[in-house]
Structure formats: C-alpha cells, structure tokens
Structure 1
Amino acid sequence: MLRTRLHALPPPLYRRVRRLWLSIVPIVQCSLAAGIAWWVAVVVFDHPQPFFAPIAAVLSLGLSLGKRWRRSVELVSGVVIGILVGDLLISVIGSGAWQIIVVVALAMAIAVFVDDGPLIPMQAASSAVLVATLLPPGGAGGFHRAIDALIGGLIGILIGALVPVNPAHRARRDAAGLLATMRDAARRLAHGLRDMDEHEVSAALASARGTQEAINTMRADMRGGKEVSAISPLYWSSRERLQRISATADPIDNAVRNFRIIARRALGMTQRGEALDPAIIDILDDVGEAFEVLRAMMIAKPNEEPDQADAARVLRSIARKAKPELVAHSSLSETAVMAEIRSLLIDMLMISGLRRSSAAATLR
C-alpha cells in the first residue's frame, strides 16, 4: 500500500522521497556517531570543547558506504597535520591574514606530501584555519584536538559496524536498477528498429549513455558493502554473497558499453535508411527479456528464483539464435551489430555467473 502511494507521487517528489528513504540509515549512523563522539570526548577524556570529535565522526561515515576506513584515516591525518602546523606556527608568528596564508599553504603541502587522498589536504587546511582564527594555540590544545579527531574517527567506524546498512541490499538494488534501465533500452531499441523510428533508437542510446553515474554508484556501494561485511559481525555471513554480487560489476559495466555501441551503430543504420534483419531485431527483443531475468535474479533472495542457473539458461537459448550464419551475406553494418550483440551476450552470461571462457564457448 505504501509503495503504491509513493509511486503515485509526482516524479520529482517521488525521487526526493526515495532518496531520503535510502539515506535514512546513514543519517541515523551520522547522528548517533556525532553525539556519542562528543559525549566520549567530554565525559571520558574531559575535553571542554571537543568539536573535532563529532565532525570527525560524521565525515568518517558520510552518506556513502565506500572507503569508510580510508576516509577515517584521511580525516584524522588531515586534522592532526592542520592542528600541529597551526599550533606550532601561530604560537610563533601570531594571527592575521598573511599568517593564515602561510599556515594553510604549509599544512596542505605537508598533507599532499604524506598522501594523495583528496580529504587530507582539505581537512588539514580547514583545521589549520580554525586554529589560526578561532582556537587559541599552545598548551595541550593541539594534543586534545588530535585526540578528539581520533575519537570521532573510531566512533564512526564503531557505529558503522554496530548499526550497519545492509551491504547486500544496496549493492543488489543498484545492479537491479541498472539492469532495468538496460531492459527498457533494449526493448525500445528493438521497437525503434522495427519501425525505422530514428527518435526511438536515439532515445534508447541516450538512456544507455545516461547510466554512467549509476554505474559509479553501483561500484562504490559494492566496495562499501564488502567493507561493511568485513567490519560488522552482523554481516560476516554475507561475505560470500557480497563477493558474488561484486563480481557482476565489470560485466554489467561492459554490457552497458557494448549496448551503447549496438545502439550507436543501429542509429547510424536508421539514419541511412538501412533496415536491420528482423531476426536480429528479434534477438535484441530477447536481450531485453534477458535483462529482466538478470534484474529479477539480482533482487531475488537466497534460494529464490530466478537464480543464476535460470538466467544462464535463458541467455544460452538467445546465444543459440545469434549465429554467425545470420549475417553471412549481410552488409558490414549489420555484421558489426551482430558481432556486438554476441559480445553483449558474453557479458550477460558473466553477470549470470559464468566465467568468460565458458561464456565465450557458448557463442562459438
């Protein structure tokens, strides 16, 4: 009932509500980590104003799953560098505009020398600016601030482990969304080619071209999911499943790229008035149905259907139709389209769990 009501919302509002819903757990994680980090720094370590602790906790978690360990290390390193440089220099040269220039330049230079991560220089610079402008240097302040940053980073990792995002759910959702986009694009491409409709073929190509951000998100969430399953005891049993899901990242990416090539060649043929063999168009229609099976496979729970074997069975039946003999006497354009379809089928077979050698052998 709730899902139906959500889908009834205007598309812009639906996208915003969905985005908020998918971010609920990371928001809860960041909120808890910030409050707990502040409490630990104040009550346990008796630091009077430990604002670096909640800042570090929030930044170490963020709204994305990817590279949280590295983000925490970069954050703490950047804060420590900025604090030490700021405390040491400002206590000697005083505060002012040119002093800020010197402090920020030196902190960022040291940070870049230490590591090539993007967060360390920015965090070092911002920490140095805070010390140079708002926080009195000297004494134990610099040491306390470094400890606060470490507290925040560790609390962030701890909260990420104890209140985790379901690592498999996010990865499966991303992959299924991409496969659904490719399903619709393949169906649209086949329809456009049957009707020699340049607009439809162009729209199918545009849809495939617009997936790069979704691919990047999928890869990041798959990496983050593996990280969560390694850190959180609640999801240690999901490691093998996450490994299987993550193994589909490259084949999905390659399938999208191959489909773009097919659509681009098909668009050129349509613009020139060249009709594609109806048998090949039927195969593209079948490809759309196969993308739907792969999508259903991706969101199916363990021991539910369709599974990898079901998807591979569907794809093998399509592979048997994609015979080189179909283009034995065809034009170069038609032959090129068939070659790319066969490459696409190899990628799709790999999404279903086959190794590249086994997938390629299916299309010999």
Structure 2
Amino acid sequence: MNPRDSTEPASTTTGVMTAVKPPLVERVRTAVTGHLGAGLDRDRKGLGSIARAGVATCVAYLIAHFIWGHPFPFFAAIAAFVIIGVSSTEKKVRKVLEMAAGVMCGVLLGELARATIGSGFWQIAVVVVTAGLLARLIDSGIVFTMQMSIQSLLVTVMPLTPSMSPGTRIVDALTGVVVAIVVHLLTSGDPRRAQKQAAHSLYRALEDALTQMSLAARSGDVRVATAALSQIRTSSQELVDEWKVANNAAEEISTYSPTHLRHAGDVERLRHLLVGSDRAVRNVRVIARREVEFLDVVKGRSNHSRLADAFLAANDAARALRRAIDSGADFTEARRALRMFCSYLTPDTLLRSDNGERLGRVDHFEGVALVIQLRSLAIDLLEATGLEHKDAQRFLPSLLIAADGDTIGPRPLTREMSAVEPPATTEALELLITDRSDPGRRRP
C-alpha cells in the first residue's frame, strides 16, 4: 500500500473529492466557542442598558422604602425595570412614556378589580380580558396593551400583606415610573452615536457596491454587476430604516434630555444627511440595474475604463461623506470629491470604450440611461451635503447638444454658455440618444 494513500482525501467513484469532516470534539469546541463569543459580544453591547436598569430599580426601591415608608415596595422596582428594560438600543421617549402609561393604567385597573370582584382564578380572566380591551380602546400600541395587561394581572394575583394597601402599590408604581423616566433621560448615551453608526454602515454598503460596479465596468463582466445589484438590494433598505430609527431616537433625546440639548444641531445635520443619502442609495440600486442591462447588451465586446473610473470617483465621494460624519458635518472634502465625480458625467466621456469600438444604437441608449442616472446620483449626494438643488446642478457638465462637423454630443458648460443654455428638450435628448450611434439621423 502506498503510504501517501492514507493521507489523501477520499474520492467518490466519479472522481469528485469529498470534504473530510473534522472530528466531533473539534466541531463541538468550535460551536461552543462561537456561541460564547457571540454571547460575550452581546454582553459588551448591552452592558450600559443592563447597568441602567439595575440603577433604576435600586433607586426606585430605595425611594419607596425610605421616603414613603413602604416595607416591601416591589412594584416600584418592577415598574422601573419594565420601563428601562435591558435593550441595547436607545428607546424613544414616546415609547418610554407609552410603557409608563401602560404600567400605571394596569396597576389602577388591578386595584379596582380587587376592590370590586376580589381575587381568584376567574377574576384573572376577567381582568386580563378587560385590560386588553381597554388598552386597545385607548391606544393602538402593542407595548401599551402588554404593560397594562401584565401589571393588572400582577396586582390581581399577588396577595396583600398586612402593611400594604391599594394606595401604596399605586404610589410604588408611580415612583418606579418617574425614576425610570428620569434615569432614561439623564443616562442615555450620546444621541449621535447610533446615528453615526447607522450612517457608517449605509455608506460602507454604498462604497462596496460602487467598487463592484467599477470592477464590472473595467472587466465587462455582467456577473460582477449582477452581484453588486443583489448586494445593494439586499442590505440597503434595512440600513436606511436603521438610520431612520436612530434619527427618531436621537431627536427626542436631544429635545427632552437636559444633558444632551447641546447636541440638537448635530442631530439635525445627521438627520438631514439621511434625506440625500436615502435618495442616493435608491439611485445606486437603479444604476446597478442599468449597468447590468448595459453590459448585457454590449455582450462583453469591450471594456469601459472611463465608466469604471467614474464609479471609483463616486466611491471616493461616498468615502469623503462618511468621513464628514465624524468631523462635525464638514463637507468641504466631500464636495471636492463630488466635483471630480461630476467631471465624468457626460455620455461622450463615459461611453467611450477602451478599444474605440462604436456602440450600437441599443447599446448607446442603455448607456445614456446609465449616465443620466449617475448624474441624478451626483445631485443626491451634493444635496446631502446641504446644497440646494439649483446649486448642486452647477457641478454637472452641460448636456447641451452641439454640432461641430462630424461630432455631435455634449460639451462642457462654460461661464458664457451658462447664461444662454436652453433647458433640455425632448428633441435635444433624442439627439443625444440617437445621433452618435445612428449616422443616418445626423444633422447636416
């Protein structure tokens, strides 16, 4: 027997190599290590919220015990913990108030039920049903309904001690609610942190997609462009929604929290940045689809380095915008990068193939649609930096149709032309789409 045979992977009868599974002990060790690592990461992210919950419950219990003189004010601790919770995400102030209202209404309903129908197995069903119906009548929120039902159930089920009266539990619950709201407002983290994290995630996804689209244009590979389209479609909307949630939470914290009022301006700038960023991401999804269609019709006959360079310039602009997030929204560098990106945005520049091959009529139509969409992306990113629409348009080269001998196409917008350039018309756009690829339709 050849000694090498014992070390070679097993193969099937068809000659396909089969993967050798690691030993069971190794697989168990890997699974346990991965699970513990993920758990430690969750602990690290949620440590602040867990600590806040502990502080709020302790403070609420101490106040009710030593100030109000209640021997066992467990409802104060319960109400504080329920409202603060252990979530690692910042709660919105509206949700905190909604939970607080649910707790108070539930305690009041439970006390009323004990005083009128008593406590027992059938009373539990009556209280839960009544609490649920009343909660849905008052508010449509699930959080309010859950808290009102749970608190009324607790009051109904838990026995009264000799030192406890219906009024003490209401006071304890109110104490826990107030303490939880105060702790939430005073100890909430920097409201900009979640905004910045969400913005960074969105722009990294945008940069990755633009890099892949650049590679697709340079190689002429439709599969790379399709992968970029799939990636941006899968992740972009979720990242936009995450940013919106962070904006809402940050706006409320900076409005109501006395320790974060000074951040209101930065929060508003980051909120405004999302408007243009959201439009830009939507445009990138369309651009990725347009690139797939363009590369599909040219069938890999040629590569387009100019188009690839334009995508890289857009990537540089997106990276500059991401850096501006951490620099107090100073968009000077980002606007310089966007000016460079805009310099590519004419069909004459972007649709010139590396080997000089002329595009067919359908190829040119798809290419122009891609160029127009890229110009729209530039406008969105410029508006994200705070520019008005008319000011953002000044960054774009002109699409004025000019005829000079055998050349028909756009020419750069000069200062003299800016005063006389007519608005784009249907005829002008038709010439832009057809003339360069259809000699029979050229003007004399």
TM range (shorter): 0.7 to 0.9
2:178 is matched by which residue type in structure 1?
L
Structure 1 segments unaligned to the other structure (5+ residues): 1-9
Secondary structure of the 2:112 match is helix
8 Å CA contact retained: 1:86, 1:131: yes
Structure 2 equivalent of residue 283 of structure 1: 310
Q: 299, 306, 319: which is aligned to 1:292?
A: 319
**Residues 1:105 and 2:105 aligned together:** no
Task: Give me the whole-angstrom Cα distance separating, in 1, the residues matched to 2:35 and 2:377.
Answer: 33
Distance 1:11 1:216, change over 3 A: farther
Q: 60, 64, 71: which is aligned to 1:37?
A: 60
Secondary structure of the 1:313 match is helix
Structure 2 equivalent of residue 83 of structure 1: 107
**Residues 1:216 and 2:241 aligned together:** yes
Secondary structure of the 2:83 match is helix
Larger Rg: 2
Task: Give me the whole-angstrom Cα distance separating, in 1, the residues matched to 2:215 and 2:39.
Answer: 32
Task: Give me the whole-angstrom Cα distance separating, in 2, the residues matched to 1:318 and 1:86.
Answer: 65
Structure 1 equivalent of residue 356 of structure 2: none
Structure 2 equivalent of residue 226 of structure 1: 251
Deviates more, 1:328-337 or 1:248-257: 328-337
CA displacement, residues 244-281 of structure 1 (integer Å, 9 cap, x when unaligned)? 11211222222222212222333344456645854333
CA displacement, residues 164-191 of structure 1 (integer Å, 9 cap, x when unaligned)? 3122233222212221221112101211
Residue 124 of structure 1: CA displacement?
0.8
Deviates more, 1:53-62 or 1:126-135: 53-62
CA displacement, residues 18-51 of structure 1 (integer Å, 9 cap, x when unaligned)? 5544433333222211221221122222233333
Structure 1 equivalent of residue 217 of structure 2: 193
**Residues 1:50 and 2:73 aligned together:** yes
Structure 1 equivalent of residue 149 of structure 2: 125
8 Å CA contact retained: 1:107, 1:125: yes
Residue 310 of structure 1: CA displacement?
1.4
**Residues 1:340 and 2:373 aligned together:** yes
Map 1:253-332 onto structure 2 (within 5 A): 253-270=278-295, 274=299, 277-300=304-327, 302=328, 307-323=330-346, 325=348, 331-332=364-365
CA displacement, residues 283-323 of structure 1 (integer Å, 9 cap, x when unaligned)? 112111211111111123x4xxx931211121122123212
Task: Give me the whole-angstrom Cα distance separating, in 2, the residues matched to 1:70 and 1:180.
Answer: 31
Structure 2 equivalent of residue 6 of structure 1: none
2:60 is matched by which residue type in structure 1?
A
Distance 1:60 1:85, change over 3 A: closer
Task: Give me the whole-angstrom Cα distance separating, in 2, the residues matched to 1:241 and 1:257.
Answer: 25
Task: Give me the whole-angstrom Cα distance separating, in 1, the residues matched to 2:223 and 2:139.
Answer: 49
Task: Give me the whole-angstrom Cα distance separating, in 2, the residues matched to 1:289 and 1:27.
Answer: 40
8 Å CA contact retained: 1:168, 1:225: yes
2:311 is matched by which residue type in structure 1?
L
Task: Give me the whole-angstrom Cα distance separating, in 2, the residues matched to 1:190 and 1:248.
Answer: 25
8 Å CA contact retained: 1:83, 1:146: yes
Distance 1:83 1:13, change over 3 A: closer
Task: Give me the whole-angstrom Cα distance separating, in 1, the residues matched to 2:104 and 2:55.
Answer: 23
Secondary structure of the 1:65 match is coil
Q: 244, 249, 258: which is aligned to 2:274?
A: 249
Residue 14 of structure 1: CA displacement?
7.3
Task: Give me the whole-angstrom Cα distance separating, in 1, the residues matched to 2:134 and 2:47.
Answer: 37
Structure 1 equivalent of residue 434 of structure 2: none
Deviates more, 1:183-192 or 1:198-207: 198-207
CA displacement, residues 127-177 of structure 1 (integer Å, 9 cap, x when unaligned)? 122223234599975443333333223222322333331222332222122
Tell me which protein shows more helix as a share of its residues.
Answer: 1
Secondary structure of the 1:247 match is helix
Task: Give me the whole-angstrom Cα distance separating, in 2, the residues matched to 1:260 and 1:145.
Answer: 56
**Residues 1:352 and 2:352 aligned together:** no
Distance 1:137 1:16, change over 3 A: closer
Deviates more, 1:150-159 or 1:180-189: 150-159
Higher relative contact order (CA 8 A, sep 6+): 1
Q: TM-score, normalised on structure 1?
A: 0.83
Task: Give me the whole-angstrom Cα distance separating, in 1, the residues matched to 2:158 and 2:131.
Answer: 17
8 Å CA contact retained: 1:57, 1:153: yes
Distance 1:60 1:88, change over 3 A: closer
8 Å CA contact retained: 1:173, 1:299: no
2:338 is matched by which residue type in structure 1?
L
Structure 2 equivalent of residue 152 of structure 1: 176
Structure 2 segments unaligned to the other structure (5+ residues): 1-32, 352-360, 399-444
Q: TM-score, normalised on structure 2?
A: 0.69
Distance 1:345 1:143, change over 3 A: farther
Distance 1:137 1:263, change over 3 A: farther
Task: Give me the whole-angstrom Cα distance separating, in 2, the residues matched to 1:277 and 1:194.
Answer: 5
Residue 360 of structure 1: CA displacement?
3.9
Task: Give me the whole-angstrom Cα distance separating, in 2, the residues matched to 1:313 and 1:23.
Answer: 40
8 Å CA contact retained: 2:317, 2:335: no
